Amino acid sequence: MSEIVFYNTRTREKAKFEPIEPGRVGIYTCGPTVYGPSHIGNLRSQLVPDLLKRFLRSEGFEVTHVVNITDVGHLVSDSDEGEDKMELAAQRTGQTAAEIAEKYTALWHEDRRMLNCQPLEENPKATDHIQEQIDLAKTLEERGYLYQLEDGVYFDISKFPRYTELAKLDLEGQGAVQRIEKVEGKRHAADFGIWKFAAEGVKRLQEWDSPWGRGFPGWHLECSAMSSKYLGERIDIHTGGIDLATVHHTNELAQSECAFGVEPWVNVWIHNEFLDFGGEKMSKSVGNVKELKDLVERGIDPLAFRYFVLQAHYRQQQTYNEEAMEAAARGYQRLVKAAIALRDVEAAGDPDVQAPYRKRFRDALADDLNAPQALAVTWEVARSDALAPADQRDLLLAFDEVLGLDLANAVVAEEVGELDPRIDALVAERETARKNKDFATSDRIRDALAAEGITILDSPEGPRWSRG
Ligand code: AMP
Ligand code: ZN
């Protein structure tokens, strides 16, 4: 067995993976800011750690995966400018920040469920952990890392020489190193807010008392406070989209290494590249968001999107467009068809025959999570003339524990339908009845089909049906 190696953003190298505690792995992933729906790029940043978790579990590790919910403090600029995204959404919609957070947290869970992501061990909300954030800030203050300005309490990055390490920041190159000596200004442009005061005369929906004054925590603080609560003061793996490395993760790291007195705080930083929309920035604030439900409305199985994501290595930018998505949907359907054809095989497989395939599959993932390579081995098995059907079945189901494509249960609606003209005719008859508002007939046909275990799905392309 080859050893497990992951690329670590901080060292810019691949290295052997060894958990802090033998047999157990803690993973922390930055979760959604719940002021709007997730777009499918955000969801790539959820699918990558889910694959990582499934793979580590298949290797026998006990995994604790923590993903936070950001429901306060994330300002529009990602750093210290602009308004809080939650407050802004509340002003726009007339709902409270809590109502908005609840709505989009539920939607995010629904997206994760549709994508067959494994349940999380912990899913803490920032607003449920205000005290933990204040305690962390107090520790930083006692250790001399903070200073106070009129609008908030800031972290002084000059006190932490490793500040630029994670993202290889070139602060001097940006001409940002000159100190701003004025009391009301930040000492360094990159100093970041730990606790922000509510602006004069502004009543925020979300504000709390603190030793420094009434206000709210800076966005970065929540991840240091909640990760240490649920995973301890050192973490095996921290994941997130690559954009988070320069500001959010750099600041999380500074806070944590200074407050906990550890180095490194995180053993492996795993950052996935973006899903690219052909040069167009997909953003909730711009309003050109493509959500998972948009794909589902076009008749695309959410798991076909999971399959799409698996086709690229996580450190590659992946371009999303309609053709590429449709090609992936066809690929996924073919794989499901292959799995369906093996479902009734009763013979037992031969572990000795399967061993070399299992090894190649896991070695691909052990090499910095090479999902495209693992998918290639999966296809080799699905297409193989040399393997017995029982071995194909065993291998596909074992691989799918890690891929998460639900090959054991998935159906291919249209294609199964094409195989049965009688049912096609009944579905068409029901559709005609519905169009003529003859609901008695359409309901009767639907119930008769249901009795045979057939479900009709209405889609923009017309009705489709599936067994089970
Ligand atoms: P947000 O909800 O905007 O805070 O983002 C949540 C996660 O999505 C973060 O890990 C981001 O890095 C990630 N993310 C944002 N846009 C994309 C994208 N186009 N592709 C992949 N990940 C993204
Ligand atoms: Zn975070």
Confidence of residue 198 (pLDDT cuts 50, 70, 90): confident
**What pLDDT is attached to residue 420?**
65
Rounded distance from Cα 59 to ligand 2 centre (Å): 27
What angle (nearest 5°) sits at the alpha carbon of residue 45, between those of residues 11 and 410? 130
The larger pLDDT score, comparing residue 451 to residue 70, is at 70
Residue 28's pLDDT band (cuts 50, 70, 90): very high
pLDDT tops 70 at residue 419: no
- The pLDDT of 354-366, averaged and rounded, is 98
192-210: b (≥16 Cβ within 10 Å) or e: bbbbbbbeeeeebbbbbeb
Write the DSSP symbol of residue 327: H
Single-letter code of the amino acid located at 313: H
52 Cα: distance to centroid of ligand 2 (angstroms)? 18
Mean pLDDT for 211-239 is 96
The CA distance from 425 to 448, in Å, is 13
- When mean pLDDT is compared across 96-100, 191-195, 384-388, the lowest value belongs to 96-100
Query: Cα–Cα distance between 357 and 336 in angstroms, integer?
Result: 19
CA distance 165 to 170: 10
Kindly state the helix (H) or strand (E) to which residue 109 belongs, with its residue range. helix 97-114
- The yes or no reply on domain 298-403 and CATH 3.40.50.1970 is no
Task: State whether the Cα torsion 186-189-195-199 is positive or negative.
Answer: positive
Strand order in the sheet with 146-149: 146-149, 152-155, 192-197, 215-217
What pLDDT shows up at residue 427?
86
Q: What is the pLDDT of residue 72?
A: 86
Q: Helices marked H in 37-84 — which ranges? A: 40-58
Give residue 249 CA to ligand 2 midpoint distance, Å.
Answer: 6
Atom of ligand 1 nearest to the CA of 240: 10
pLDDT value, residue 233: 98
How many angstroms does the Cα of residue 31 sit away from the middle of ligand 2?
Answer: 7
Which tokens is 102 given?
């609840």
Q: Could you tell me the CATH superfamily of domain 5-276?
A: HUPs (3.40.50.620)
More confident call, 279 vs 292: 292
The ligand 1 atom nearest the CA atom of 33: 2
Q: What is the pLDDT of residues 127-153, one digit of tens each?
A: 999 999 999 999 999 999 999 999 999
Res. 182 pLDDT band, cuts 50 70 90? very low
Q: pLDDT per residue over 76-129, tens digit each?
A: 766 666 678 888 888 888 898 899 999 999 999 999 999 999 999 999 999 999
**Tokens 């909730």 -> residue:** 284
Q: For residues 48 and 115, what is the distance between their CA atoms, to the nearest angstrom?
A: 12
**8-state DSSP, 348:** P
Ligand 1 atom nearest the C-alpha of 281 is 19
Average pLDDT, the chain: 91
Residue list, ligand 1 pocket, CB within 6 Å: 30, 32-33, 41-42, 44-45, 240-241, 243-244, 274-275, 282
Which atom of ligand 1 has the smallest separation from the CA of 282? 19
More confident residue, 77 or 435: 435
Read off the tokens for 369.
């999570």
Q: Helical H runs in 190-346?
A: 219-231, 250-260, 292-297, 302-310, 322-341
- Listed ranges 89-103, 362-376, 445-459; the one with the highest mean pLDDT: 362-376
Number of the ligand closest to the Cα of 78: 1
